[in-house]
Amino acid sequence: MRWEYRRAVIESVGFTRGEADAEMDRLGKEGWELTVAVPRDKHGYQHEVCLIFKRPAPEAS
């Protein structure tokens, strides 16, 4: 099986405001599955979170 991947970057404050939930719900409805969430720091502070999603790639014809 082949996979396709997608990255979404959410500001850290977005997690407390529910913005991450809305984005994950939207992508889930499109068939994307969250595989990992990686915090990204800037100047020693957590600035954003990188979400990596995957779903089966369409069959090549």
Domains of the chain, residue spans: 1-36
d(CA 54, CA 42): 26
- State residue 47's pLDDT score: 79
pTM attached to this predicted model: 0.78
- Strand arrangement of the beta sheet that strand 33-42 belongs to: 3-11, 45-56, 33-42
pLDDT of 42 above 80: no
Element of type H or E holding 60: none
pLDDT in tens, 19-35: 788 888 999 999 999 99
